[in-house]
Structure 1
Amino acid sequence: MCRHFPPCPTADATDRDSARTIAHHPEQGWSLLCNQVLFFEDTGELLPSGTVIPPSRRPLTQVAR
């Protein structure tokens, strides 16, 4: 349970990524947020319920030549 004020968004909230980081492991590519969401470097997420949120990747743009 979050003890911050204002409290962090829950794992089910659309803004769940804005929760505070409580463990950061850049060498492994992940962080644990206060709402128990595992946030991965590629923007994928693993929710406490076991639900996987795939990475949100921007489409590649063509370089003008």
Structure 2
Amino acid sequence: MCPHRPQCPSADARDREAALVVAFHPEQGWWLLCNGMVIFDDTGELLPDGRSVPARRGPSQQAA
């Protein structure tokens, strides 16, 4: 259960990405949120129940 006030949105809420960061490893490209979600720097998500949410953007476009 979230100890923050107001409580962080649950992993099932529409605004679930608004939960506070409790651990982060930007060098590895991920952040753990208070609601148990893992957010990746490519915008993909891993939900606490193991389901994944695909990235909302495609691979980065590198200049030639």
- Fold conserved between structures, TM > 0.5: yes
Identity %: 59
Q: One-letter code of the match for 2:20?
A: R
Query: Is 1:27 aligned to 2:27, yes or no?
Result: yes
Paired residue for 1:63? none
Segments of structure 2 that go 5 or more residues without pairing to the other structure are: 59-64
Paired residue for 1:62? none
Q: Which runs of 4+ in 1 moved over 4 A?
A: none
C-alpha deviation, 1:22, in angstroms: 0.3
Segments of structure 1 that go 5 or more residues without pairing to the other structure are: 59-65
How many pairs are equivalent?
58
Q: One-letter code of the match for 2:57?
A: R
Query: 1:17-45: CA deviations, max 9, x gaps?
Result: 00000001001000000000000000000
Q: Bigger shift: 4-13 or 49-58?
A: 49-58
Distance 2:50 2:14 in 1: 17
- How well do the aligned residues superpose, as a CA RMSD in angstroms? 1.0
